[in-house]
Structure 1
């Protein structure tokens, strides 16, 4: 039977029986293996369509997304793949797309449409499975509530959907006592609103919730129907909490966020909280801070003007937060507990804290108690505190940035460390590393930093579990708290996931050091740029400059590569010679490799020294091209072996 061609160049045949389908092929719209009924190209060019995909309307007004119609399209405007907001999977097949960045696979859209309209007859091609699913099949989850299917009857369509019977019969609209203005409607939580009953953030992009679009409210399906306890015992609070179902909104005294119903109150202390907040741990140990953090319903006077160490917004002293008993710092409850892997619960208040073992042992102190002579566990000689001020051209062997006061130096071999780099602990936990293992301070290993991707062989912190490494520049820049920048008058704070534009390089940002007072932000790697640098193009030190005051357009070029230069981007400049150059041209590909150090993992019989050729360029023994930048030179004077860095090092250590 012939049919219209659905945009295909050849006529299509409708196949109704499996014996007519002689090949295994994929549907050209949904990408899955076709089964009858389906359409097949009469010219046998490999074009197939499920009948349900062929009959899918080009415009769909979906009950789960009432704001705009969804349009069937092959290319929703993304550079590569798209992400289905229902099942969470991505590929490059046809999709129902909305301009507000909402996408559905064809089958996801039709499946959820039939559920929302309660058209369960459309699912009759799937039998209702009566046997209980064993708990061993824990990976299967319901495509509505995203809870495990174990111990529930469910639909199991051929297309891979699983559905609790109870979820298939959910009412599309319902009235609830916690929100009497409008009915709740079953919908996708595309705005990622937190549940107004339990206070938890709804699952990102997966499953559906009951929501009120005019009021921008969302509640979990399970929270709407949950039976509430009349009394809740809270181990971290001395009195029990009693249920107080109220119809108006309230601010939870435990976490400081809004709730709309199911409040629990302590009449003795006159506090009102979400039910989930009665379970908040009293003491936690967080990756964000070295000391234990205590939950407080009301902040003491010394914390009254504090900002959250994570989001940097003000912490309301009249509502719950976590604070450190040693330091005047506070955290919003949701900020510090959002990532379950970033903190652990301390069970006993008198439990000893794990001390951070120092990297130095103090040999001598001055009258003010300052350490003037130390022994660092990563260096063989004693280090002295420098009595000088300014004028240094060496780099810190820890972070590879130019030396500035105060710093420690070795009088025997020229080794030096910033005071802050020397005092870093041997082991630490950091919030920006996902692994649960601590990080250990290492040195003299060539590595690529997991944060800035620079190659270095200076000090780093290596995870004891996954062995990924982070350079000291990134560890320091990402440490919680304010950072100062010589190119900006206000302190900078790190913001996760902030989208903007870096003031140094002009490139888009996603996680930056940012000023709260003005529109100034920097990538981590731009924040850590050396303030001064040397290059053979000029006999003087070049200084990092943030703005070109010269309006003459011909001056806006790089004196190294001779290409044009953006006057609004940072560059290196010599005021004496009027030399200007791109940051990358001055620093080169490997600015944080310690020249003169040994690199042995090359297969050459002798140790190789890391060098950077400036004036004469011997040919590489591997590729025969001149060694103009970082190279490896044999440390034996009688051996003339020299190779490019990229010719012998692993790809993971190359620019």
Structure 2
């Protein structure tokens, strides 16, 4: 019987502790530093060491504590040095405390005991403001934080703490990236099988910890972090708009007779050409502003060309980062026809999908959500809410109005690789007018392309980053920046003319050169000049070329005359 009343406690390993029903004198507990005046307690007779029965029977470890659910807390004996409790922010050195070895988090036993360690996680949380300053882990998002840094709320049922921003998330929301209503699930492990280790957020393409809360759609298994839905949420007026749910990519009601096509954006009939021999040099597709290739449609009356795929684009299209359906537009909102793309940040002519001032050119809008790029070994997924920089250029696309990133990037879930829209739409093969061979887009900076330790662009002769993508010709060991090859504005139709109310002559787009006068246009590489002036310049350039040829012939004749016979 006596042996049953004896324990060996980790805090006092020298001797066993004996359970006594009552103590003759008032003593202090060595576990909580409070008086032991009545009730059962444990005592070491040789050392006069005392512990409340409740202090002696404290669990040696706590898992999933509401204030620190990510790691296990281990019970420690009183320390010789002062310990700082991360809950009550008080110092003490004469009490038991729970310690996390992973992140140096401490809780004294009083703070640890006032929070239930086995809450009922099947209820719907009822949050109320919490004003005490403590360190805590948000039960909804899993982030460690202090109430001094972010306001918190506490569930009145289970006493769990959450950031106020997380606690106030709506129970159901409608976002642009999914057709269904999403439901807030406090613990995703309740609806998603635990064996699914690789569950990724549909908006940022990063792993989702199923222990915490998230938004979920049971119909299509759409999952997202709490924080990611903020930039993609539909305005309240749109959440009940059923037309957004029902809309698909809508094709034109085509008027076709054989190989003839009629479209709203061109006044004449378009005739198809399937023969590569018929491809005209230096002609651009009026839709995507890229070199024309078979099969394509053309207008015999006005030199108008259109790829077959561009001619059959849907009239309306859904885009995951915008809450409204986008409509195909063949002309820009401005008189010069140039528009700004919200995805790649570039200026271009050509077709676009628009909604009021929101515009995506058809190249960016046509990229699928899952992209297999030839320059990267893994598939890339469109991460709408991602703020990562592009690995191909170390840049990130910002909105020209609010200077914040938008439309996200394409990320690799296997190797932490990100690709921006501007680099994702670079052509795999490109031609440079002063180089005889086609150039290939690559990212491999090896001796195969450049055997020197210094990396330079052979067009602008400036240093380039060896980690960035570049164009190269293996035959000639020729390497260059992408923008030096394709140009600062590769999708501007240079040579196109337009009428401006601010000038009496027809204006034409030309490339700006070092000899051009300073311009006040938004793009430093664009220049508008009167067509009359352009014709005169072309005549002057042709005359200069003829004069240069004559000078070259004269010098060659002089050199031959001086040679000894």
Q: Which residue of 1 aligns with 2:510?
A: 611
Alpha-carbon contact 2:217-2:223 (below 8 Å) kept: yes
Alpha-carbon contact 1:386-1:406 (below 8 Å) kept: yes
Determine helix, strand or coil for the equivalent of 1:586: helix
Q: Which residue of 1 aligns with 2:161?
A: 218
Determine helix, strand or coil for the equivalent of 1:363: strand
Alpha-carbon contact 2:86-2:135 (below 8 Å) kept: no
Determine helix, strand or coil for the equivalent of 2:234: helix
Matched, 1:516 2:403: no
Shift of residue 528, structure 1, vs aligned partner: 1.0
Q: Which residue of 2 aligns with 1:592?
A: 491
Q: Are residues 533 and 172 of structure 1, via their aligned partners in 2, closer, same or farther at CA, if it must alter by over 3 Å?
A: same
Matched, 1:322 2:222: no
| 1:167-199 Cα distance to aligned partner (Å, 9 max, x none) | xxxx99964697399xx9945898765279xxx
| 1:582-630 Cα distance to aligned partner (Å, 9 max, x none) | 112223332221112224347221121112378xx8754x679xxx954
CA distance in 2: counterparts of 1:223 and 1:513, whole angstroms: 27
Alpha-carbon contact 2:284-2:305 (below 8 Å) kept: yes
Q: Are residues 518 and 223 of structure 1, via their aligned partners in 2, closer, same or farther at CA, if it must alter by over 3 Å?
A: closer
Determine helix, strand or coil for the equivalent of 2:372: strand
Alpha-carbon contact 2:470-2:482 (below 8 Å) kept: yes
Shift of residue 485, structure 1, vs aligned partner: 1.5
CA distance in 2: counterparts of 1:503 and 1:406, whole angstroms: 34
Q: Which residue of 2 aligns with 1:475?
A: 365
CA distance in 2: counterparts of 1:419 and 1:206, whole angstroms: 55
Alpha-carbon contact 2:244-2:325 (below 8 Å) kept: no
Alpha-carbon contact 1:309-1:330 (below 8 Å) kept: no
Range that drifts further, 419-428 or 455-464:
419-428
Q: Which residue of 2 aligns with 1:449?
A: 341
Alpha-carbon contact 1:298-1:320 (below 8 Å) kept: no
CA distance in 2: counterparts of 1:499 and 1:399, whole angstroms: 27
CA distance in 2: counterparts of 1:320 and 1:346, whole angstroms: 18
CA distance in 1: counterparts of 2:469 and 2:138, whole angstroms: 37
Alpha-carbon contact 2:248-2:318 (below 8 Å) kept: no
| 1:557-604 Cα distance to aligned partner (Å, 9 max, x none) | 211111223333211223444322111222333222111222434722
CA distance in 1: counterparts of 2:166 and 2:395, whole angstroms: 43
- Which of the pair has the greater relative contact order for Cα pairs under 8 Å at 6+ separation? 2
Q: Are residues 203 and 641 of structure 1, via their aligned partners in 2, closer, same or farther at CA, if it must alter by over 3 Å?
A: farther
CA distance in 2: counterparts of 1:571 and 1:471, whole angstroms: 24
Which runs of structure 2 are paired with 1:530-541 in the superposition (5 Å)?
Answer: 530-541=427-438
Q: Which residue of 2 aligns with 1:288?
A: 177
Q: Which residue of 2 aligns with 1:546?
A: 443
TM-score between the two structures when normalised by the length of structure 2: 0.53
Q: Are residues 585 and 294 of structure 1, via their aligned partners in 2, closer, same or farther at CA, if it must alter by over 3 Å?
A: closer
Q: Are residues 430 and 607 of structure 1, via their aligned partners in 2, closer, same or farther at CA, if it must alter by over 3 Å?
A: same
CA distance in 2: counterparts of 1:618 and 1:351, whole angstroms: 51
| 1:542-562 Cα distance to aligned partner (Å, 9 max, x none) | 332322332521673211111
Which runs of structure 2 are paired with 1:151-300 in the superposition (5 Å)?
Answer: 175=115, 179=119, 186-187=132-133, 194=140, 207-210=151-154, 218-219=161-162, 280=172, 287-288=176-177
Q: Are residues 570 and 602 of structure 1, via their aligned partners in 2, closer, same or farther at CA, if it must alter by over 3 Å?
A: farther
Matched, 1:493 2:381: yes
Q: Which residue of 2 aligns with 1:58?
A: none
| 1:201-233 Cα distance to aligned partner (Å, 9 max, x none) | x99975323499xx9963478999x9xxxxxxx
Shift of residue 379, structure 1, vs aligned partner: 2.5
Aligned residues: 388
Q: Are residues 591 and 419 of structure 1, via their aligned partners in 2, closer, same or farther at CA, if it must alter by over 3 Å?
A: same
1:484 maps to which of 350, 353, 372: 372
Q: Which residue of 2 aligns with 1:431?
A: 320
Q: Which residue of 1 aligns with 2:98?
A: none
Determine helix, strand or coil for the equivalent of 2:381: strand
Q: Which residue of 2 aligns with 1:560?
A: 459
Shift of residue 363, structure 1, vs aligned partner: 0.8
Q: Which residue of 1 aligns with 2:261?
A: 374
CA distance in 2: counterparts of 1:306 and 1:384, whole angstroms: 49
Q: Which structure has the greater CA radius of gyration?
A: 2
CA distance in 1: counterparts of 2:421 and 2:431, whole angstroms: 22
CA distance in 2: counterparts of 1:583 and 1:216, whole angstroms: 56
RMSD of Structure 2 on Structure 1 (CA): 5.6
Alpha-carbon contact 2:202-2:383 (below 8 Å) kept: no
TM-score between the two structures when normalised by the length of structure 1: 0.46
Structure 1 unaligned residues grouped into runs of 5+: 1-60, 69-99, 101-170, 197-201, 227-274, 300-304, 366-371, 643-655
Range that drifts further, 384-393 or 592-601:
384-393
Q: Are residues 591 and 602 of structure 1, via their aligned partners in 2, closer, same or farther at CA, if it must alter by over 3 Å?
A: farther
Q: Are residues 490 and 528 of structure 1, via their aligned partners in 2, closer, same or farther at CA, if it must alter by over 3 Å?
A: same
Alpha-carbon contact 1:173-1:185 (below 8 Å) kept: no
Alpha-carbon contact 1:187-1:209 (below 8 Å) kept: no
CA distance in 1: counterparts of 2:413 and 2:308, whole angstroms: 28
